[in-house]
A and B are shown apart, each in its own frame.
Chain A
Amino acid sequence: AQSVTQPDIHITVSEGASLELRCNYSYGATPYLFWYVQSPGQGLQLLLKYFSGDTLVQGIKGFEAEFKRSQSSFNLRKPSVHWSDAAEYFCAVGPYSGGYNKLIFGAGTRLAVHP
């Protein structure tokens, strides 16, 4: 069955420290992969996506993610975290059917940033 696992429910980092949020997926073919961020009381905003090509993907707000097929992972990274990055982060996998664009979401990782 298709699934997305985000092993870390909650992460706390200091401002200026580096960040890595883990995402593992289970999918029968090459997936389309996404990272979304959700600030309190808000909807989800797309940070970056991987469809094909270069496995290192650059996104908005200084985030990047690397697709590793051998590890079924799509970890999100940022070299220096800002206080405004405190939010909940969701990894998602999407099979492209040309019709029903279904996304399967992980349970999310809540990021806290210490000053």
Chain B
Amino acid sequence: EADIYQTPRYLVIGTGKKITLECSQTMGHDKMYWYQQDPGMELHLIHYSYGVNSTEKGDLSSESTVSRIRTEHFPLTLESARPSHTSQYLCASSDDFEDEQFFGPGTRLTVL
């Protein structure tokens, strides 16, 4: 079944650790996105990708980085996590011809 997956769902780590949030989709979509969502707030786009080897920063400045080596995989990395990175991170994808974005279940990150 075509879907979009995120792991881990929940992560609690200490300050200074390097972390990678995984996002994979089996929908064959070219476009993928990372959003950051604080409780009770709107989603803010932090990264997006048109396709393999394409990555761009979104509207909200983020210290995270992304890579797109394979169509189905769009991981997000924080080299040195800080408490200010505590948030929910949502991954999404869309195809070439429709604006509808399909979302993963999210990763809730807490940095102590």
Residues of A within 8 A of B (CB): 4, 9, 32, 34, 36, 41-46, 49, 51, 90, 94, 96, 99-103, 105-108, 110
- How many A-B pairs have beta carbons closer than 8 Å: the answer is 60
Cβ–Cβ contact A100 & B42, under 8 A: no
Q: Which residues of B contact A44 (CB under 8 A)?
A: 43, 90, 92, 103
B26 interfacial contact with A, CB 8 Å: no
Report the stretch among B13-21, B61-69, B70-78, B93-101 that lies at the interface. Answer: B93-101
Contact A32 B103 (CB under 8 A): no
Given A90-B42, A108-B42; A103-B103 close (CB under 8 Å): no
Question: Are A96 and B99 neighbours in the complex by a CB distance under 8 Å?
Answer: yes
Is B106 in contact with A42, judged by CB distance below 8 angstroms?
Answer: yes
Contact (Cβ within 8 A) A43 B106:
yes
